[in-house]
Structure formats: structure tokens, C-alpha cells
Chain A
Amino acid sequence: MNITTRMRWFALGTLAAVAATQPLAAHKLREAGVTVEVAKSDLTVTPSVAWNRLNPRTGKDNETWTLDGEELNDVTFYGQVEEGKTLLLEVDKRNRPLPRFSDTMLLTDIPPMLETTYRIARDLRLFEITGMEPAELSGHKAIRFTYEFVGPDEVRRKGEADAAIVDGALYMMTYEAPQIFFFDQSLEKYRQLRDSMALG
């Protein structure tokens, strides 16, 4: 999230910590080898190394994991995104509404949906889909696509995502990290997570 949002959450967390003598915004450890449910859905994954699940969520149906912080490595799971739902929380609903998932969508409609969502919600300077190919997610037909983008922090990032539409709902995993050093650094760990994904 951008620096302003983060500062607000710090303020909140700090005060709440005072109130509760315990951090409100505690990020949870995700231990290696332990299968867990993600994105409040029937998606599960089994990490091969320890990850951290971040609070708060950036969308109603998603969950973000990281190793060093979401600016350096960001794996986000989207679970059971149904008709009419957005991927992320609206930033300016009246003037610049986010695209909504439709259960008639085809897999090739998912990359443009992500693109428009990010452009609006993350204030991107630049976004480009760099490739796509058929894939499989837990036995279901899926689209795997790669992309690059630059946000207000001027850091060039790469992304790799897998998405499937099952029973009219969208399930997706995205991995994003700075192009310099970090993307390659954790790519294998992301792919292990992806390959461990089970649906239902």
C-alpha cells in the first residue's frame, strides 16, 4: 500500500496497541509444511518455507503473504470472487469505479480486469501484459500471465499470475516484486505455493 495509507495504519495500530496492550495489526506467521486455508474460501496452500500473512486485507476476497514486506515480495490470493465483486477496495467509486467480475467472463478477460483494477487502485504510471499461456490450477483450466508495472514509488515491478474460473467464481494467485533482484529471488518459492494450491 502507499506510504500515506501505511502511515494511517501505523497510527491506528499504535493507538490500538496502547488500548489493548497487544498489536492490533499483527501479521500472522504461516509455517512451512502446514496446510492453510486462504482468502476465506475453499482454497488451500501448503508453504514450503515460512511466510507472513499481512493485515489488513486489500480487498474483501483476498489475502496477501510476504517474506520481507509487500513492496519487496507480494503474493496475493483471491478466493471465490463472485459476480459483481471487485478485486480490491474502491478508491473513488463515483468517478473511477473498479471493474467487477462477471460470471460470463472468459479467462482472457481476467488480465485486462487486473490491469484496469491496478491502474485505478494503485495509481500506476505504466502497466503492460507481457505474456499469457494456458495452465492448470488444481485440475481446473487456468490462465497464466505475466506483467510489468510502475507505481508512484517509481519502482519497476514484475508480476506473474494464475487464474481460474470455477462454478462462476474467480480464483487467482498473483506474485509481484521489484524487477531488480527481488522478483527472481522468490519466484521459486511462489511457484511452490502455486503448485501446492488445492481447490475444494
Chain B
Amino acid sequence: MKIIVRLLAAFALAATGLATPNFASAQEKTAIRDGFEFPQDRRARVLLFRPSIKVGAQSTGGMFEPRAEWTEAARVNIEAALDSYQVNLGHVVVEQPETFGYDAQLVREYQALFGAVARSVIDYQFFIGNRLETKKQDNREDKFRWSLGPGVADLPGAENADYVLFINTEDHYGSTGRKILQVLAAASVGYGVKSGLHAGYAGLVDLKTGDVLWINADYAMGGDVREAEGAEKRVRQLLEEFPLASEGAETQR
């Protein structure tokens, strides 16, 4: 627990009386690609995959251990919440066709890649105090340029859609995170008062270019996804700033 010691030392320093701004609220969580606008003349088709969901516990050794029962519960809850929330997405939601074998594998690979991009956006463009200089420059110029690459056109169902909406959640319930974050909570820094990790990433991607047009990404989202109400809260939080009007979407399957 060397990290804890250093944290406490830093905290002690901080306690010598400097103002503690609320970093949580100061941090960006969403972004839109500069210049992006949905076409107004027609309804855009949004491909929606079954979300990537991971739920587990943090062992004392700091390792993440997936928990099947929790993940199953979360899946049922999140999918139900998403089903009822879809009407708010506007436009035509095209659901993922049944996939097997190679196609299913490809979807999983893109979901994993989207997760990596989302984390990079949070870490290196959003998070104050951790931004890369090159990303700071982008921020100054109002640029948001991230992409998964044009290979997204190979995703199953891409031929029937204009955009794809990725949704990933990852929840770690555990002791290590809790200790650190309780220290932070005590310092009133406001970052992630909840214990562990409760990450959610939602991203709208252009199926022709792979460009990320809109993203909402955060490591400290609300709602216990193992419960129906918590999952609803999480889905709302993920999609509340989806850049579309909410006039009754059609869902195509």
C-alpha cells in the first residue's frame, strides 16, 4: 500500500490550507467532434450493439475478479433499461443482427477498442492535471479528433446504418479503491465518492470513417447496475447528452 502512504503525505501537504476546488465537477465528461452535426433532412440510422458489461470485485491483491452472477444481473437490468430508453435516442435505432463466430468476435474486438479509446480520452484529454500537451493544444483549438478507423464498416449490420453507438460499463466493487477514494472524500476533493470503479462509456461513431462523433465517458458514474433502478440511472447518465432530439425513435431489428 505504498500508494496510500504517498497519498496521505500529499493530503497532509494539501491540508496546509490551500483551496480545494471540486475537480469532479470541473472535469469534462462529454465531447463532440468539431464540426459534427446530424443530417437534418432525414432520419439517421444508428446501429446499436448489446452493451459490453463487466462487473466484479477487486481482490485484496488489487486484481479484478469478474463475478458471473453480478454480471448477469447487470446485463438483464441494463438491457431492459436501454430498451425503454431507446425512444429518447431519436432517429432510427438499428439493432445488432444475431452474430456468430467471426462476426461476434469482431464486435467484441471493437467494443474493447472503444473502451481503450474512451479511457484515453478521459485520461489524456479530459482529466485536468493529466492532459497530454498535444491534447491541451486540441482543447485550445476546440478540436476533438479520435477515431476507431474505417474498419468499422465491416461490423455486422453496418451496411444498414450510418452510425454505431457503443456502450461499455465496467464496475469493480472492492476494498482497494474504496480506501483511496475514502481518503479523497475526506479531503473533500469530490472525485468519485463512491468506492471502486464505476465506469461508463457511450460513444457515437461514424460507420464510414470510424470517427468518434460524440462521447460521454466517466470513471465514477452513478447507479448500482446490479439493481434495476441503478441500471436505469446508469443508462440515463450514459445517454442524457446524446446529441439528438428525442422524438420517438423507431427501432429496427
Report A's interface with B, CB cutoff 8 A: 3-4, 6-8, 10-21, 23-29, 50, 52, 66-69, 71-72, 123, 152-156, 178, 180-182, 185
Q: Tell me the residues in window 7-50 of chain B with beta carbons closer than 8 Å to chain A beta carbons.
A: 7, 10-11, 13-14, 16, 18, 20-21, 23
| Complex-state Cα separation, A29 to B137, whole angstroms | 11
Q: A8 CB to closest chain B CB, in angstroms?
A: 5
Q: Is the CB of B210 within 8 A of A12?
A: no
Contacts A11-B3, A15-B189, A68-B124 supplied; 10 other A-B pairs, CB < 8 Å: A4-B58, A4-B176, A4-B177, A15-B11, A15-B14, A19-B13, A69-B124, A180-B110, A181-B147, A181-B148
| Complex-state Cα separation, A28 to B150, whole angstroms | 31
Kindly list chain A residues whose C-beta atoms are within 8 Å of the C-beta of B189.
Answer: 14-15, 18
Q: Is the CB of B120 within 8 A of A11?
A: no
| Complex-state Cα separation, A23 to B136, whole angstroms | 13
Kindly list chain B residues whose C-beta atoms are within 8 Å of the C-beta of A28.
Answer: 133
Q: Is the CB of A4 within 8 A of B197?
A: yes
Q: A149 CB to closest chain B CB, in angstroms?
A: 13
**CB < 8 Å: which of A15, A20, A23, A155 contacts B7?**
A15
Q: Tell me the residues in window 112-157 of chain B with beta carbons closer than 8 Å to chain A beta carbons.
A: 112-113, 115-117, 119-120, 123-124, 127-134, 146-151
Chain B, interface residues (CB within 8 Å), range: 35 or more
Q: Is the CB of A180 within 8 A of B14?
A: no
Q: B163 CB to closest chain A CB, in angstroms?
A: 17
**CB < 8 Å: which of A14, A23, A153 contacts B184?**
A14
The residue of chain A having its C-beta at the shortest distance from the C-beta of B12 within the complex is: A19
The residue of chain A having its C-beta at the shortest distance from the C-beta of B117 within the complex is: A72
Q: Is the CB of A12 within 8 A of B113?
A: no
What are 17 sample pairs from A and B whose C-beta atoms fall under 8 A apart? A3-B197, A3-B199, A4-B58, A18-B21, A18-B189, A23-B129, A27-B131, A27-B133, A52-B132, A66-B132, A67-B134, A69-B132, A153-B115, A153-B116, A154-B108, A181-B150, A181-B151
Kindly list chain A residues whose C-beta atoms are within 8 Å of the C-beta of B170.
Answer: 3
Q: Is the CB of A13 within 8 A of B129?
A: yes
Report B's interface with A, CB cutoff 8 A: 3, 6-7, 10-11, 13-14, 16, 18, 20-21, 23, 58, 62-64, 108-110, 112-113, 115-117, 119-120, 123-124, 127-134, 146-151, 170, 172, 176-177, 180-181, 183-184, 187, 189, 191, 197, 199, 210, 219
Which A-B residue pairs are the 9 nearest by beta carbons?
A: A181-B149, A69-B120, A29-B133, A19-B13, A23-B129, A154-B112, A15-B10, A71-B116, A52-B132
Q: A48 CB to closest chain B CB, in angstroms?
A: 14
Q: B198 CB to closest chain A CB, in angstroms?
A: 11
| Complex-state Cα separation, A115 to B209, whole angstroms | 34
| Complex-state Cα separation, A10 to B192, whole angstroms | 11
- Known A10-B191, A152-B64; judge A17-B129 contact (CB<8 A): yes
The residue of chain A having its C-beta at the shortest distance from the C-beta of B63 within the complex is: A123
Chain B CB within 10 A, most for which of A15, A27, A156: A15
Q: Is the CB of A11 within 8 A of B116?
A: no
Q: Is the CB of B113 within 8 A of A155?
A: yes
Q: A96 CB to closest chain B CB, in angstroms?
A: 12
